């Protein structure tokens, strides 16, 4: 890999590592019984798409610590994408989301092989839960079998445990706070634990720990990764409601339909007057939201200025993240890559 970061080339390496690993594991799965084909197919679908940002942060945590390019590290970094695939499958089930990357989500796609059977939707959801569980198990397996020395892997084990704990805690908090009065502080806490940490901070820390990074560098990774992870999810919230579904691959009404506690919704509630709050309640209480409701909500949010406020929050967090890179001795190519990744994660249309 060249010393200058090439996102396309890096993504191709991660895609190849995942493709080979998943193909081998699916062969083992199908040897148990060919009837498992629909499950194997959903494992492929869940791991085929994505920008591979989590793997990139893990890779550059390693390179920023002074280590050279390594195919074994690329395989370890690819495990971060299996964690993301697992979280996405479970998240789609919890939210009842019909689409991801423009394709039916696992709990929807798995209805087809069960069509005509009693409780087919319930059974499809159960199968999808197991697909997500399998993906998380595969993430740990790929990480351990990456080819890195056992001593390196042992340094990262505490961070791996923390990643799983915080990710699950964030998802639980989102469920506990869904449907309650919108609260910006609570929404930002969900963002921090459900997304920010496992998207940026923990992959960086894992890459750094694998490389033997010292405490000062690991501290910088957190100072950079936490605000950037927040900015990533704040952008995702904006795109979820204001983005083009053709680009995002998701249904625009998902967040409203489930009353997900996003910072965008919380900032809208905070800035709204009594009449606007009543209008907001009326929209959120409707059972079958449609395009008209989406336009009404967008208009209300623009009226109170909440999208602009979220943009300001994103800008401030990206600036905080990039400032953390200043004054810490890391290789120039790593500093350049982390700066580019900060913009790629926060300034995007899907």
CA atoms within 13 A on the CB side of 164: 14
pLDDT, one tens digit per residue, over 1-39 is: 446 789 999 999 999 999 999 999 999 999 999 999 999
User: Which SS3 state, helix, strand or coil, does residue 6 take?
Assistant: coil
Q: At residue 288, does pLDDT exceed 90? A: no
Residues 128, 89 contacting (CB under 8 angstroms): yes
Higher pLDDT, 309 or 249: 309
With a cut of 70, say whether residue 129 has pLDDT above it: yes
User: What pLDDT, in 10s, does the model give residues 203-224?
Assistant: 999 999 999 999 999 999 999 9
- To 5 degrees, how large is the angle CA 263–CA 348–CA 96? 55
Q: What is the pLDDT of residue 252?
A: 74
CA angle 245, 297, 284 (to 5 degrees): 100
The confidence score (pLDDT) of residue 255 equals 79
pLDDT at res. 305: 97
Q: What is the pLDDT of residue 3?
A: 66
| Helical (H) or strand (E) element with 104 | strand 103-104
pLDDT at 327: 82
- H-helix segments, 249-305: 254-258, 263-271, 274-285, 291-304
Averaged pLDDT of the chain: 94
Q: What is the pLDDT of residues 305-321, one digit of tens each?
A: 999 999 999 999 999 99
3-state SS assignment for residue 172: helix
Question: What is the reported pLDDT for 350?
Answer: 60
Q: In the chain, how many domains are there?
A: 1
User: Where in the sequence is the domain holding 24, given as residue range(s)?
Assistant: 7-346
What pLDDT, on a 0 to 100 scale, did the predictor assign at position 2?
42
Answer yes or no: is 1 within a domain: no
- 57-71, 277-291, 331-345, range with the lowest pLDDT: 277-291
Q: Phi, psi at residue 96, to the nearest 5°?
A: 65, 30
- Is residue 2 in a domain? no
Per-residue model confidence as pLDDT tens digits over 158-199: 999 999 999 999 999 999 999 888 999 999 999 999 999 999
CATH number at residue 113: 1.10.600.10
Q: In whole angstroms, give the CA distance from residue 76 to residue 81.
A: 10
Backbone angles phi, psi at 90, to 5 degrees: -65, -40
Q: Based on C-alpha coordinates, what's the Rg of the chain?
A: 21
């Amino acid at each position: 890999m060249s010393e200058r970061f090439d996102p396309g080339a890096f993504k191709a390496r991660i895609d190849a590592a995942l493709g080979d690993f998943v193909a081998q594991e699916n062969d083992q799965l199908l040897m148990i019984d060919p009837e498992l084909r629909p499950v194997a197919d959903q494992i492929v679908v869940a791991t085929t798409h994505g920008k591979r940002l989590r793997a990139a942060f893990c890779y550059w945590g390693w390179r920023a610590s002074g280590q050279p390019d390594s195919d074994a590290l690329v395989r370890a970094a690819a495990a971060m994408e299996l964690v993301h695939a697992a979280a996405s499958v479970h998240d789609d089930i919890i939210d009842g989301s019909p689409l991801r990357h423009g394709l039916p989500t696992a709990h929807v796609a798995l209805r087809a092989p069960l069509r005509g059977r009693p409780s087919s939707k319930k059974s499809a959801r159960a199968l999808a839960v197991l697909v997500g569980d399998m993906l998380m198990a595969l993430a740990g397996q790929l990480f351990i079998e990456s080819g890195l020395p056992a001593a390196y892997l042992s340094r990262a084990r505490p961070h791996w445990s923390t990643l799983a704990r915080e990710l699950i805690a964030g998802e639980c908090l989102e469920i506990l706070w869904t449907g309650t009065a919108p609260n910006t502080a609570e929404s930002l806490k969900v963002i921090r634990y459900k997304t920010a940490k496992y998207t940026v901070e923990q992959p960086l820390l894992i890459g750094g720990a694998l490389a033997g990074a010292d405490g000062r560098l690991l501290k910088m990774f957190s100072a950079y990764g936490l605000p950037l992870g927040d900015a990533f999810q704040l952008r995702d919230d904006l795109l979820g409601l204001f983005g083009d579904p053709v680009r995002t691959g998701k249904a625009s009404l998902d967040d409203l339909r489930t009353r997900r506690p996003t910072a965008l919704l919380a900032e809208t509630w905070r800035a709204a007057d009594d009449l606007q709050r009543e209008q907001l309640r009326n929209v959120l209480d409707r059972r079958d939201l449609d395009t008209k409701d989406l336009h009404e909500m967008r208009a209300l949010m623009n009226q109170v200025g909440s999208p602009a406020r979220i943009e300001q929050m994103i800008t401030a967090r990206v600036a905080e993240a990039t400032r953390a890179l200043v004054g810490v001795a890391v290789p120039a190519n790593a500093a350049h890559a982390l700066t580019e990744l900060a913009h790629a994660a926060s300034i995007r249309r899907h």
